[in-house]
């Protein structure tokens, strides 16, 4: 269900935020246990070991973007976020600029739409995110951001996440894959790029036969506060939200694996 709202003169007093406050209040009323202070692991030791906390730190801001033509739509990045949140208990607030997200598709990565509050916020994505992050009754707040994410705006999100312990995820979108604003600094403690790669043949014993095998991504950690960037070839999130490391990586480099996939 989308919470549609027309652009108001004062975003902080919009009908979207008023409705969000009411919905989140009902969620918090039913909360009975405090949020654990443990990180959210990606489930692959080779990646989790590269993160200082052994996973994505809760109560912090993380940034994700697609690559190539998918930079505009962020399909792979959306499924990456959905798979992570599928393994984090609780309700999720997903703030959209426009109603172009196919919500049932999130279920393919393990995040059932019944767990998600969808809010179409127009130009008020960042204020809606900040409002949601103030409420510890949520597991995560996701915001789809088109255009600049300034240091001031991202710091406000980071501070709100720290205070509530809620995981903040920003999905960056742009019509241009080389948009310079995507490389501008932000307060996010990790920054990820999800690159779609050719899927393997469906029949391993017939590699020349076209097929629709499990999707593959090059998952790039381009920024990590207190850690080192890295790049991994993975199989996309399954129906339980879990990634898998491509077996070919045990026998060659990332570049060699990409050439074989192509």
pLDDT per residue as tens digits for the range 146-191: 999 999 999 999 999 999 999 999 999 998 888 999 999 999 999 9
Is residue 1 a part of any domain in this protein? no
Give me the percent of the chain exceeding a pLDDT of 70: 77
Looking at residues 233-256, what average pLDDT do you find?
Answer: 76
Is residue 82 a part of any domain in this protein? yes
Is residue 229 a part of any domain in this protein? no
18-22, 151-155, 203-207 — which is least confidently predicted?
Answer: 18-22
Q: Is 80 exceeded by the pLDDT of residue 226?
A: yes
Is residue 243 a part of any domain in this protein? no
Is residue 176 a part of any domain in this protein? yes
Report the SS3 class of residue 127. helix
Is residue 206 a part of any domain in this protein? no
DSSP 76-104: HHHHHHHHHHHTS-SEEEEEESSS---TH
Task: With beta carbons less than 8 A apart as the criterion, state whether 26 and 19 touch.
Answer: no
Structure tokens at 36: 């654990």
Task: With beta carbons less than 8 A apart as the criterion, state whether 171 and 81 touch.
Answer: yes
Q: Is 70 exceeded by the pLDDT of residue 258?
A: no
Domain count, the chain: 1
pLDDT at 130: 96
Q: Is 90 exceeded by the pLDDT of residue 141?
A: yes
Measured distance CA(232)–CA(96) in Å, rounded: 29
Measured distance CA(51)–CA(75) in Å, rounded: 24
Is residue 178 a part of any domain in this protein? yes
| Among the listed residues 243, 72, 251, 64, the one whose alpha carbon sits nearest the alpha carbon of residue 140 | 64
**pLDDT bucket at 48, cuts 50 / 70 / 90:** very high
17-31, 42-56, 116-130, 182-196 — which is least confidently predicted?
Answer: 17-31
CATH number at residue 92: 3.40.50.300
Helix 151-164 with 125-133: angle, nearest 10 deg: 20
Provide the residue range defining the domain that includes 150: 15-26+39-194
Q: Which residues contact 10 (CB under 8 A, 6 or more apart)?
A: none
pTM value is 0.82
H/E/C letters for each residue in 190-226?
EEEEEEEECCCCCCCCCCCCCCCCCCEEEEEEEEECC
Is residue 85 a part of any domain in this protein? yes
Vertex 145 angle, CA 144 and 149, to 5°: 145
In 10 A of CB 198, how many CB atoms? 12
């Amino acid at each position: 269900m989308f919470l549609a709202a027309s652009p108001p003169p004062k975003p902080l007093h919009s009908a979207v935020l008023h409705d969000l406050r009411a919905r989140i209040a009902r969620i918090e009323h039913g909360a009975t246990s405090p949020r654990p202070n443990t990180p959210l692991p990606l489930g692959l030791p080779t990646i989790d070991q590269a993160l200082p906390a052994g996973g994505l730190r809760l109560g912090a801001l993380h940034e994700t973007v697609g690559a190539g033509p998918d930079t505009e739509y962020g399909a792979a990045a959306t499924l990456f976020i959905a798979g992570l949140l599928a393994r984090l208990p609780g309700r999720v607030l997903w703030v959209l600029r426009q109603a172009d997200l196919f919500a049932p598709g999130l279920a393919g990565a393990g995040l059932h739409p019944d767990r998600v509050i969808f809010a179409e916020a127009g130009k008020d994505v960042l204020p809606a995110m900040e409002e949601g992050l103030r409420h510890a009754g949520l597991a995560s707040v996701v915001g789809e951001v088109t255009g600049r994410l300034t240091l001031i705006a991202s710091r406000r999100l980071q501070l709100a996440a720290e205070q509530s312990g809620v995981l903040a995820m920003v999905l960056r979108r742009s019509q241009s894959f080389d948009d310079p604003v995507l490389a501008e600094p932000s307060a996010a403690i990790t920054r990820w790029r999800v690159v779609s790669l050719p899927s393997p043949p469906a029949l391993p014993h017939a590699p020349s036969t076209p097929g629709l095998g499990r999707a593959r991504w090059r998952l790039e950690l381009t920024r990590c506060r207190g850690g080192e960037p890295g790049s991994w070839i993975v199989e996309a999130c399954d129906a339980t939200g879990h990634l898998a490391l491509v077996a070919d990586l045990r026998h060659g480099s990332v570049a060699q694996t990409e050439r074989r996939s192509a």
